Chain A
Amino acid sequence: MFNLTPVTARTGLLEQVISAVEHKQQVSRLWRLRVSVSVGIASVIALVPVVTSLVNAFAASNFGTYLGLVFSDTSVVLSSWRVIGASLLESLPAVALTGTLALVGVFLWSLRTVSLNNNFIV
């Protein structure tokens, strides 16, 4: 009923397919490498003002003063641990700290991505 002739692949097809897949992987790897390097450089540049802001924010807050009470008046502080905990939390420069942590995380992520996508680092 059906007269099917067997299909045979032309010579070199397998090598061509593998070569095309490898080429696409290479392009994708290079693109990820460029993005991660750019993001890494941008995060390092952005870290400078953010860390400066964090240091200034800590200096302007009373966080260090309250933290010193933990060591100078340990017994009193431990008996009113909720008060000292609230004081420390309220005086923490949360925005600057969040920004700094986020940029450090982005920088580490970019380093990891660069490492995963290049063949130059041994």
Chain B
Amino acid sequence: MNTKHFFQSHALAVVLSIIVVLVLVMGAFAVGERVGFHKASFDPNNGNHMMTDAHGSAGKVIAITLPTITIEDKDNTEKTVVVSDQTVIRKFRNTLTSQDIAVGDYIVAIGEPNTQSQIAATLIRILPPMPQ
């Protein structure tokens, strides 16, 4: 297949169509995200407790007051993670407990946000220290 046939081929037309659909979907998602963030900032019940990444956080542990752990995220925001009996805590291949987490550890936590803008952690993984 020479160059001209490639650029006139049906396959390239399909690829272009897929890219257009992806752009439309991602664009709609980005717009929806911005609108939702903007509306939440005006909500009197939630204006002071909005979180951009509500379902997870990764960063350095700066305070531990079990069952809550405070993390400093990459953009220097502080997020609170709540540990429960259902939370799985892991480091490498080992399963740990909340007592094994120390201030200064780098962790990643995912979970559901609650009404106090905390993350009820489903999984916490202790990471190696992140490069500066």
Interface residues in chain A, defined as those with a beta carbon under 8 Å from any beta carbon in chain B: 60-62, 65-66, 68-69, 72-73, 76-77, 80, 83-84, 86-87, 89-91, 94-95, 97-98, 101-102, 104-105, 108-109, 111-112, 114-116, 121-122
B interface majority secondary structure: mixed
- New A-B contacts (6) at CB < 8 Å, excluding given A80-B111, A98-B23: A60-B74, A69-B123, A90-B54, A91-B56, A95-B30, A101-B22
Q: Are A62 and B58 in contact (CB under 8 A)?
A: yes
Task: Give the secondary structure class of A's interface.
Answer: helix
Tell yes or no: B50 within 8 A of A by CB. no
* CB-CB under 8 A for A90 and B55, given A66-B110, A104-B19, A115-B4: yes
Instruction: Identify B88's interface contact among A60, A73, A84, CB under 8 A.
Output: A73
CA distance A89 to B127 in the complex (A): 22
Q: List 22 A-B contacts (CB under 8 A).
A: A62-B57, A69-B108, A72-B90, A73-B90, A80-B110, A80-B111, A80-B123, A83-B110, A86-B56, A90-B55, A91-B53, A101-B26, A102-B23, A105-B19, A105-B23, A108-B16, A112-B7, A112-B12, A112-B16, A116-B7, A121-B3, A121-B7
